[in-house]
Amino acid sequence: MKKLIILSEQKSFIKKPASSDCIIGQEKAFFRRGEGNVEILYKSLILKNISRVIKKIGFEPICDSFTRKHHDNAVFMYIAMNLVYLKSNRYLLKELKKNGNKLSLYVYDCWEPEFDAWQKVFDELKPDYIFFCFKQTWEHFKGRYNCYWVPQSADLDFFQDLGIEKTRMFIQMGRVNPQMHEAIKSYLNKKGIPDTDDNYVYRRKEKTDLFPKLPDLVREINRSRYIVCVPKCYENFKRTGNVSGITARYFESIACKTMIIGKKPVSFDELFSSDGMIEFKEDLSDFDDLIQDLENHKEKYEEIVNKNYECLMKNHTWGNRLDQIMEIVNSDTK
C-alpha cells in the first residue's frame, strides 16, 4: 500500500486563492479516509522557493530535508488551484523529483486558453500522475501524460442538509448570470413576490462577498429552494474557452438538498441523473412553467433532491475521490 503525502499551503503565509476552502475540505477528507496512508505536510512552501535565490548567492538552501528521498512507496501530491500557484512552487516540486520522489498533481482551474502554458510546466516537472477535476481538460491532455479524470466534491463537514425550512425561493452566488437573473425577477414580479433577500438573494453590489463565512453560506443555501449554477464558460468564455466543468458549487448545493437550476456542465449527466437539475430552453421561455411545476408538486422536488443527495453520498464524496486515486497509484508497479 502506497502512502500519499499532500504538500499543503493552507498554513503558509502566502495569499490563499478564493477557493482555498475547497482544498481545505479535500485535504481533511483525504486524511480521514486514508487511515494512516495519507499524510499532510503543512509547509510554508514559499520558503523553498526563496531557497532558489539563496542558493544562487552561495548560501545553503533552506529545508533541504523537505525534498529528500522518502521511502519508495511514497507519492507526493500538490493540489494546484491554478497555474500561478503551480508555477510558484516549481522549484520545490522539481527538487522532489530530482531526489527520486514520485510526484502527483491534482489540478483545478486548467482552462483551454492556458493549455499550452500548463503543458510547459508539466513538461518541466515531469509528474508521475496528474489528476484533472474537469473532464474536458483530461481529454485534452490524455495521451501526453499519465493523467486521469477525478472530479471535485464538497466539504461535507460543512455542506449538509440542516433540516431547516426552505423559506426563500432563489439564491445566486458570485457573478450574476444576466439571463437567469432577469428570468427570476420576471417570475417574482408576475407572482407579486417582492425582489428582496428574503425571496431572492444575489450580489446587489459589485465585488461584494455575500456570505464570507462558510457556516453562513451553508445556512443560506439550505434556506433556498433553488440555486443558480451556470458553468463559467457561459459568462467568461475568454477565460475558460470551451471547458465546462462541474465545480464544487454543484456538489455543495446537492449536499444541502437544494435544487440546482441553470446550465449543466458537460459531465453532469455522467455523475448524476439526467433530471438531477433543471435546465431551460435557450430563451428561457419555459422558466416560469418549470419552476411553477415544482412549486405545485413538492413531492417531485423532494424526489429529485433526495436522489441527488443519495448519489452524492454513495459515489461522489472526497473519500470516493481518494479511493480512485489510491487505486491508480497502488496498481502502478513502477
Nearest partner of 242 among 108, 132, 114, 80, judged by Cα: 114
Give the span between the Cα atoms of 225 and 212, in whole angstroms. 21
Q: Which residue in this structure is represented by grid cell 440546482?
A: 260
* Domains in the chain: boundaries: 3-153+317-331, 168-315
pLDDT for 56: 52
CATH for 3-153+317-331 is 3.40.50.2000
Give the span between the Cα atoms of 40 and 126, in whole angstroms. 22
Architecture of domain 168-315: 3-Layer(aba) Sandwich (3.40)
pLDDT for 281: 95
* Identical fold between 3-153+317-331 and 168-315: yes
- Tell me the H-state helices in the chain: 20-34, 45-56, 83-88, 90-98, 115-125, 135-141, 178-190, 214-223, 237-240, 248-255, 268-271, 287-296, 298-315, 318-331
**Cell numbers representing residue 302 in the block:** 423532494
Q: Enter the DSSP assignment of 142.
A: B
**Cell numbers representing residue 53 in the block:** 535565490
pLDDT for 10: 72
Per-residue pLDDT tens, the chain, 334 aa: give them. 899 999 987 765 455 555 678 899 999 999 999 999 999 987 655 455 555 444 554 444 444 556 676 677 899 999 999 999 899 888 889 989 998 999 999 999 999 999 999 999 999 999 999 999 999 999 999 999 999 999 999 999 999 999 999 999 999 998 899 999 999 999 999 999 999 999 999 998 876 778 888 999 999 999 999 999 999 898 889 999 999 989 999 999 999 999 999 999 999 999 999 999 999 999 999 999 999 999 999 999 999 999 999 999 999 999 999 999 999 999 986 6
Q: Global pTM?
A: 0.91
pLDDT for 126: 96
Give yes or no for a contact between 152 and 144, defined as CB atoms under 8 angstroms apart.
no
